[in-house]
Amino acid sequence: MSVGARHRPPSIVITLGAPDLTDDPATAVRKNNRYLEAIVRVGGTPIGIDQHATNAERAAAFATMDGLLLSGGADIDPGRYGRETTRAVGVQPGRDQLEADAWEAANERSLPILGICRGLQAINVFSGGTLIQHIDGHESPSYGSGTVICHPVRVRPGTRLAGILGGAKPGAVVLSVNSYHHQAVRRADLANGLVAAGSAPHLGGDLVEALESADADRFLLGVQCHPERTESTPEEFERLFAAFVDAARGAD
């Protein structure tokens, strides 16, 4: 890393949903902005791209990328994890391809990667895991309307996430998080090389609500909740964004 690079804010590529492909573009823009704002708050420079980005725009973003944030959004095509479509909805192949390309570019350089909601699921799928295409009881009303569903998440002691959210506190960290998803990861769905860093109870068995790399030296972490939505998120999660950007600051 050059001397100049050490002193510039780390560049964080954020994959976003394309607002024009939604029923409510104004709300989609608002949702996208929350990710950008979260990175700015902790000293990073966000570079937002969606599936409409040209090959040249993608190449330029990936070339300057110090970290990758995979954001929330539409369901991933089940074909990417070897399944027929049963309950997946709103699949966007263009978004899937954008994120697959971003994932490959970040992995080639072992850059820090953070996944949020769909992003957690993408990390698992791109790593060779699978998803359950529908669960009941975890999908809040549309963003900005109705009462947010919240539930407890138990963060596994000794994980990177526990160190970030719980600091020096011994034992398990239990936090109440928002819930905006209808797809999920179970322990049986986890890809090799990933570990469950947080779980939530469910009638069909505990759900993986946070995952991370089994390699303690790699910042590869996903959370199923939406910590960028600070109005329904414990303040501890601001430390997650800060830790991610700090890891990107040290990327080669």
What residues are annotated to the active site? 117, 226, 228
- 194: how many CB neighbours lie within 10 A of its CB? 23
Backbone angles phi, psi at 59, to 5 degrees: -60, -40
Residues 6+ apart with CB under 8 A from 54: none
Backbone angles phi, psi at 193, to 5 degrees: 95, -5
Secondary structure of the chain as H, E, C letters:
CCHHHHHCCCEEEEECCCHHHCCCHHHHHHHHHHHHHHHHHCCCEEEEECCCCCHHHHHHHHHHCCEEEECCCCCCCHHHHCCCCCCCCCCCHHHHHHHHHHHHHHHHCCCCEEEECHHHHHHHHHCCCCCECCCCCCECCCCCCCCCCEEEEEECCCCHHHHHHHCCCCCCEEEEEECECCCECEHHHCCCCEEEEEEECCCCCCEEEEEEECCCCCCEEEECCCCCCHHHCCHHHHHHHHHHHHHHHCCC
Instruction: Give the tokens for residue 241.
Output: 């964004």
